Homo-oligomer: A and B are copies of this chain.
Amino acid sequence: MPDEPREAVIRATCRALCTHGYANLTMQDIADETDLSKAALHYHYDTKRDLLIAFLDSLTSWYEGRLEDLEGETAPERLSSLFDECLSHDDGGDDDTDGDADYPAFHTALMEIKAQAPYDDAFRERLAAADEVLLKRVRGIVADGVAAGAFADVDPDVTAELVVDVLAGGHTRNVAVGRSLDDTRDVLDGYVDEHLLAADAHTNRGPDADAGADTEPSDAETPTDSTQAETEPEAGEAEASR
């Protein structure tokens, strides 16, 4: 299928998924979101599963791009932008062709796909790729921040695993028990403020609060996926971005 109609079909799949959920989704529901007949859709994709796999592939690329282009000069600013991307529940205003309109419904639909992953290797493989993209991005930002002295001397691997767990848990609790994504954001902001920012970046702790204040060179691995030079950490900016 040529790129342009292919993208239109994938966006239609996303919209149909958000409206109907995974369990109830039919090829007709997806066709109804396009200019194509159900027969024409079947010509390119045999089943709704094939369409969902194309959608998951597209989602991972899109997500990778969004995480690559995070706003912010410093590591704390870029981490804050990453939280914005992952915990947004903005459902509109902007053009719905970008595929993330109606975000809460989107996360609900994605949770259904996650729940089916143990029964479907193709789903699991693509979800694992998206998980790895996020993990790698957080790890890179944390390593940059440690190297620049903006963050305390933490282990970027362990910190990234914790952040990705909190994000995944926040999404799950949002879908399963209706807990606000804003609460997840508060948890992460509190974690960064209390445990991740270097001591001299704190504005709300006493002079004897020195976790990670040692100034030895970081033993963190050399960041490999940073695309921006680290600038001097600015405590004021880091705080202002919260």
Contacts and interface: CB of A to CB of B under 8 A. Distances in A.
A235 interface: no
Contacts of A13: none
Contact of A162 (B21, B128, B166): B166
Given A115-B111, A208-B210, A209-B211, A173 B168 contact: yes
A59 B124 CA distance: 27
Contacts of A165: 165-166, 169-170, 173, 184, 187
Interface residues of A, number: 51
A23 B21 CA distance: 13
- The number of times this chain is found in the oligomer is 2
Interface stretch (A25-33, A188-196, A225-233): A188-196
A106 to B, nearest CB: 12
A46 interface: no
A16 interface: no
Contacts of A166: 162, 165-166, 169
Nearest to A104: B118
Interface in A109-149: 111-112, 114-119, 124, 127-128, 131
9 closest cross-chain pairs (CB), A and B? A169-B169, A168-B169, A211-B211, A165-B169, A114-B176, A128-B177, A111-B115, A115-B115, A112-B115
Given A124-B178, A206-B214, 10 more contacts: A108-B118, A111-B111, A111-B114, A112-B116, A114-B176, A128-B177, A162-B191, A168-B170, A194-B195, A208-B213
